[in-house]
Chains A and B, each alone.
Chain A
């Protein structure tokens, strides 16, 4: 079946550092790919998405590119802020299947 693997956390960075959170997927068809974010005490919300190969999703300074050849959708940000501290979930959606990775906690210190 479909699956999503993302790097384990926590990822601990200083403010203004570069962020990469790796995500790879296994799917039989052509899924859409998503990054969701869960801030402390809040529900999950969509951060960005990409619906086909080579698409780049971006939002709030975060970016991720749908790489079909490497089945990856790595999340990047050039300069993180303390307010980016949260849990980040990579997900794929194909037909009726909405599959999530285990989540990666990001902690950003001043």
Chain B
């Protein structure tokens, strides 16, 4: 596609339920990033993919969070047993490679846990 696509754009879920957030990066981009943006906060790094592998998972806040990427393209971020503090905008970005290049962001998924 022309840009990074994220779905759904909005998700309201009940506390304790699992959610899956999807990111479709720009075709040909090998690097993919997930960030979390809470109200009034900056961007919190979650995980980075190079191809299908995730060399840097250091930002995942707990073992309830996991992510995968298949075919060097689409990535899914899964949050199990959601908590209210998980409410945030989850942003995905991709870049052509991992070496100092511009990242392109999706519009984000706004997750609300009630």
Residues of A at the B interface (CB closer than 8 Å) are 31-32, 34, 36, 42-46, 49, 51, 89, 93-103
Contact of A34 among B41, B99, B102, B107 (CB under 8 A): B102
In the bound complex, do residue B100 and residue A96 qualify as a contact, i.e. CB atoms below 8 Å apart?
A: no
Contact of A96 among B43, B50, B93, B104 (CB under 8 A): B50
Tally inter-chain residue pairs, CB-CB below 8 A: 55
User: With A and B bound together, what is the CA distance between A95 and B95 in angstroms?
Assistant: 12
Residues of B at the A interface (CB closer than 8 Å) are 31, 33, 35, 41-43, 45, 48, 50, 55-56, 91, 93, 95, 98-108
Q: List 20 A-B contacts (CB under 8 A).
A: A32-B100, A36-B105, A42-B107, A43-B108, A44-B93, A46-B103, A46-B104, A51-B100, A93-B100, A93-B101, A93-B102, A94-B100, A97-B48, A97-B56, A98-B45, A98-B103, A100-B35, A100-B42, A100-B43, A103-B42
